[in-house]
Amino acid sequence: MIYSKITGTGSYLPEQILTNADLEEMVDTSDDWIRSRTGIEKRHVARNDETTCDLAEKASRAAMEAAKKNKDDIDLIIVATTTPDLIFPSTACLLQQRLGIRGCPAFDIQAVCTGFVYALHVADLFIKTGNSKCALIVGSETMTRIVDWKDRNTCVLFGDGAGAVILEESKRPGILSTHIHADGAYQELLSVPAGISSDYNLVKSDKAFIKMQGNEVFKVAVNTLGSIVDETLRSNSMSSNEIDWLVPHQANTRIISAMAKKLDMPMDRVVVTVDKHGNTSAASIPLALDVAIQDGRIKENDTLLLPAFGGGFTWGSVLLKY
């Protein structure tokens, strides 16, 4: 049996930090409101001249170094992003050029906060079908570019960053199962309602910002994440006490705690980075993964569950042996 296995991780956060105290100066909010409703204390913000590809390149180089891979080893590049550098070429093609790689397939995946889970699903299929031996999978975002800094409902939530993994063909178990879903009926609850073929004037006017009905999104997120976790455990005939680490999408500590409670998992087996990173959309899971691997919490052979939920709505999960 061929598995795809993570053999290296890397991440990058922009240097500039925006604290809740900084946001108090910008909109009618308070550190207490933000912490109690979201768990967020601070977030990183890319410089104006720093793009999604810049962040992706730094995370990718770190992941390649960790896996001891050079540019000639990489035979597939997938970048999950909602905030690409350009309309085209894809950020994956821009990244490929930066890394000096030529010829291998490179493409972006757009599934908002579930993007990294979608990307792992696709890469796992490439590897299991013999179409790739060593893939570079990245989640990279400059979400602060699509945030309305006058809208307190959304501007306190998001941050920028990138995380990357090297996924290799292996005879030892790696990814055990992936599950991805979408339901486009929820567009009104969470979107950036501007685009190339729908309302390009809005894009040109620099007003293509995130609009969200937060409390409605919250309810669907909690229910949907609960059901994806059930689906994953059921399809692997596993119980939650066999999961060593929950590494969920980082939108809100209340959503994460609800998921942990449903799984009956203590919070010390849950990787939480939303307090320091905010919601970095497709970058949040690979960032959290790298943090917990670097600090030694996640160890070889641990079983990890990576659930995600985001705009679309999209949702999904990956169960893997590290």
Interface with ligand ACO by CB under 6 A: which residues?
29, 33-34, 37-38, 112-113, 152-153, 156, 190, 214-215, 217-218, 221, 251-252, 255, 279, 281, 310-311
6 vs 147, beta carbon nearer ligand ACO: 147
Q: Name the catalytic one among 53, 93, 113, 134.
A: 113
Please list, in sequence order, all residues whose beta carbon lies within 8 angstroms of the beta carbon of residue 317, skipping any fewer than 6 positions away: 117, 178, 179, 228, 229, 231, 232, 305, 306, 307, 308
Q: Name the catalytic one among 134, 249, 252, 277.
A: 249
Judged by DSSP in three states, 44 sits in: strand
214 vs 226, beta carbon nearer ligand ACO: 214
Residues of 191-227 as b/e, b for ≥16 C-beta within 10 angstroms? ebebeeeeeeeeeeeeebbbebebeebbebbbebbbe
Judged by DSSP in three states, 223 sits in: helix
Q: Is 104 part of the annotated catalytic residue set?
A: no
Q: Is 279 part of the annotated catalytic residue set?
A: yes
Q: Is 277 part of the annotated catalytic residue set?
A: no
7 vs 91, beta carbon nearer ligand ACO: 91
Minimum Å distance from CB 154 to ligand ACO?
7
180 vs 221, beta carbon nearer ligand ACO: 221
In what side-by-side order are the strands of the sheet with 76-80? 3-12, 160-170, 134-142, 76-80, 106-109
Distance CA 284, CA 248 (A): 8
Minimum Å distance from CB 142 to ligand ACO?
13
Minimum Å distance from CB 135 to ligand ACO?
24
Indicate which residues carry an active-site annotation: 113, 249, 279
